[in-house]
């Protein structure tokens, strides 16, 4: 079983996006857990960093993910990803 522990989160573009749009960074520590001889063993499985674009529907109090960027897989920095979001998702900005 893989356990993901959220260790850091940050919202970007707070006063720059239209109402109900959110750009959120999350960093997870991943742990693999195994049961061995009635004990639980845990192994470090690295970290995962993501930046999500969320849209909150105020009528139903739900949040929907519009797009997610996995920083570890795409070899992009946070700054590069934020620039990409500004260029490719102009519709979410004021």
- Whether 91 shows a pLDDT value over 90: the answer reads yes
Could you tell me if 24 and 12 are in contact, meaning their C-beta atoms sit under 8 angstroms apart?
yes
Model pLDDT for residues 28-73, shown as the tens digit of each residue: 999 999 888 889 899 999 999 999 999 998 777 889 999 999 997 6
Find all residues with CB under 8 Å of 81, minimum gap 6, and list them. 51, 69, 71, 74
Query: How far apart are the C-alpha atoms of 94 and 92, rounded to whole Å?
Result: 7
User: Percent of the chain having pLDDT more than 90?
Assistant: 79
Q: Where are the domains of the chain?
A: 2-92
Could you tell me if 30 and 47 are in contact, meaning their C-beta atoms sit under 8 angstroms apart?
yes
Model pLDDT for residues 48-60, shown as the tens digit of each residue: 999 999 999 877 7
Query: How far apart are the C-alpha atoms of 51 and 12, rounded to whole Å?
Result: 9
pTM score, two decimals? 0.85
- Whether 74 shows a pLDDT value over 80: the answer reads no
């Amino acid at each position: 079983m893989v356990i993901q522990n959220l260790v850091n989160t940050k919202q970007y573009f707070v006063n720059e996006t239209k109402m109900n749009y959110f750009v959120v960074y999350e960093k997870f520590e991943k742990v693999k857990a195994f049961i061995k001889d009635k004990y639980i063993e845990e192994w470090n499985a690295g970290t995962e960093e993501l930046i999500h674009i969320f849209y909150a529907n105020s009528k139903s109090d739900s949040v929907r993910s519009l797009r997610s960027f996995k920083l570890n897989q795409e070899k992009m920095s946070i700054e590069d990803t934020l620039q990409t979001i500004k260029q490719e998702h102009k519709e979410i900005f004021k």
